[in-house]
Chains A and B, each alone.
Chain A
């Protein structure tokens, strides 16, 4: 698997439901970041979680990080049609640069 790999590859949910996507990585990281990409706004930073943090919140977003399992999860609560996008995790490795995963394609159906 890649350094940062999202799971699932694709996810379809109904509006109002919660969406959870996961990211697994292989080597120690400085921080992990989640980005969203849709056709309207391009690639946008959502949240950054450092290696010494376990959970962060931003509005309807909740990110967790488990460094022992080398994994992170992104939870979007009360999803909206506007949340339809591809979501990428980017792992920032000590002394190296960003590595983006292949992404999770989220579809929120009205």
Chain B
């Protein structure tokens, strides 16, 4: 089966610019996650969707980050405006059913903010 797709793979922007990431989960997976992984650290959950509803966005910096999952399939994560500390890999994952199950991760988008 096809895995989780993400684009772009790499992005370089200057601070205060905007950027958007796209994710297409595995077909049939109702739950979709966005993680931020800073170099040398474990992934940190930003937001979780169940179908097109938000389940958990407690760690999403809502003053600059936004995410949506229209139609309960693919999703976009936006940062506006970006800060230097947003430099990280942004990982999208999906799982079948509830959040206790195994997660399947995409390759990630490496963001560099200059």
Contacts and interface: CB of A to CB of B under 8 A. Distances in A.
* A-B interaction: yes
Interface of A: 4, 30-31, 33, 42-45, 48, 88, 92, 96-103
Nearest to B40: A102
B41 A44 contact: no
Nearest to A92: B100
A51 B55 CA distance: 23
Interface stretch (B13-21, B63-71, B101-109): B101-109
Contacts of A44: 105
B107 A42 contact: yes
Interface in B31-55: 33, 35, 40-45, 48, 55
Contacts, number: 46
B80 interface: no
A45 B103 contact: yes
Nearest to A4: B42
Chain A's interface: helix, strand, loop or mixed, by majority?
Answer: strand
B42 A103 contact: yes
14 contacts: A30-B100, A42-B105, A43-B91, A44-B105, A45-B102, A88-B43, A97-B33, A97-B48, A98-B45, A100-B42, A100-B43, A100-B44, A102-B40, A103-B42
